A and B are shown apart, each in its own frame.
Chain A
Amino acid sequence: MELTERHVEGLKHLLYNMADDLLILGHRNSEWTGMGPILEEDIAFSSMAQDKIGQSLALYNILHEMGEQEPDVVAFTRNSTNFHCAKLVELPIGEYDFSLVRHFLYDYADAVKFDMLSKSIFEPLAQVCRKFRGELKYHTMHANIWIKDLTNGNEESKKRMQDSLNLAYPIAYSLFETNEYEAELKEAGIFAGESEQKKIWKKEVDAVILESGLTIPMVKNEEDHHGGRVGNHTEHLQPLLDEMTEVFQIDPTADW
């Protein structure tokens, strides 16, 4: 099938959303390197950071083949208003319970998205998503183990998990912000859409939440934390970008 100009625009929007989420959460995960509560968790968050940044690079490469700038330029020279990441991924790492709950909510959303996109008629994206799917299994597996273990640890650990879930769960809806291309991409068989993704995600995360012994938080308005996909961000994103791009700003040709 021939892609129309609108399809290409919608695909670029989708690719930037995905790649920016991965780059920013990858950076946040890497903030646990050397700081993890135990050695294994230090390694886990560092490994997940490496996977996510690798995946973002593969997506920026697809964008580059579609005529966008080089991956390094795209990653290191945009201001926060030009980033498309959802608000969930840009929030600071907080305490370990928050990072863990965010990782659980985010990775389930990506697992659903990669699964949906592995059937996309846009073959370059389908190929990488088939690859990402296998890698991501270890992320959701890791999340499952810790959500269950800490909820069933002691009173304090259970309270911390529930408090973090109450905070992160409504913000996780920022991942499913819809856009003007959704219907056309669905129609063309490129991507079945954020609404469909949200439905499957909710069913899956709610099952783990209940099974662990936590309560599913109420969400009054699913759109409260939207805006990231069109460049409206929290005050936390720009300082992250300033830190992430520090070396590049000093010497754009630096090699390491």
Chain B
Amino acid sequence: MKTKESDITSLLEEVMDPEIPTISIVDLGIVTGIKLSEELVEVTLTPTFSGCPALKIMEEMVAEKLNNAGYKNKVRTSFETQWTTNMISEKGLVALKKHGLAPPPRHDGYVELDVLSDTPCPLCDSRNTTMQTPFGPTLCRSMHYCKNCLNGFEAFKPVS
């Protein structure tokens, strides 16, 4: 039977972000190309952040997944499509929250940084929060404090 693009997508939905294991790389929006030919499956990924160390690992995870399913493959990274947080699926946003991260708000191509100052708390949903620093344990996260439930939390930064 001929392989369809959706077969490959289903497989890649099982490859999870190594730093946020509740979200797949498909829901994260970094799979920007799947090309099928007689012999080869070509997958293109795009970096969330230029300096993200997880990218190389994700490339290897994709290759391993396809190898195990018996697909000869080539995985590459390209900036042709520039990743933004709008490319995270609805399912992905839920997965981020499940991991305890406040999901990034949708934006219209321009990120207004004020939105960070009252990021909804992923634990109690209060907006009575404050941003402590725009940098966190990984490049994609900022750190916040909830004045309602008195917990510190991390948010996935909106990126345009």
Contacts and interface: CB of A to CB of B under 8 A. Distances in A.
Interface string A152-185: 0000000000000000000000000000000000
A40 interface: yes
Contacts of A48: 135
A131 B79 contact: yes
B51 interface: yes
Determine chain B's interface SS by DSSP, over half rule.
loop
A57 interface: yes
A53 B142 CA distance: 20
B107 to A, nearest CB: 10
Nearest to B79: A127
Nearest to B84: A134
Given A58-B79, A127-B79, A134-B111, A47 B139 contact: yes
Given A131-B47, A141-B113, A51 B137 contact: no
A135 B49 contact: yes
B157 A54 contact: no
Contacts of B143: 40
Given A131-B79, A134-B160, A137-B111, A47 B50 contact: no
Interface residues of A, number: 27
Interface in B17-41: none
A53 B139 CA distance: 12
A142 B135 contact: yes
29 contacts: A40-B132, A40-B133, A40-B135, A43-B137, A44-B133, A44-B134, A44-B135, A46-B135, A47-B135, A47-B139, A48-B135, A50-B53, A51-B50, A53-B51, A54-B49, A54-B50, A54-B52, A57-B50, A57-B51, A58-B50, A58-B79, A124-B79, A127-B79, A131-B50, A134-B111, A138-B113, A138-B135, A141-B134, A142-B133
B113 A137 contact: yes
B80 to A, nearest CB: 6
B25 to A, nearest CB: 18
Interface string B95-135: 00000000000000001010000000000000000001111
A128 interface: yes
Interface string A34-64: 0000001001101110111111011000000
Given A40-B132, A141-B134, 11 more contacts: A44-B135, A47-B135, A51-B51, A54-B52, A58-B79, A127-B80, A130-B82, A133-B160, A134-B159, A141-B113, A142-B133
A50 B113 CA distance: 21
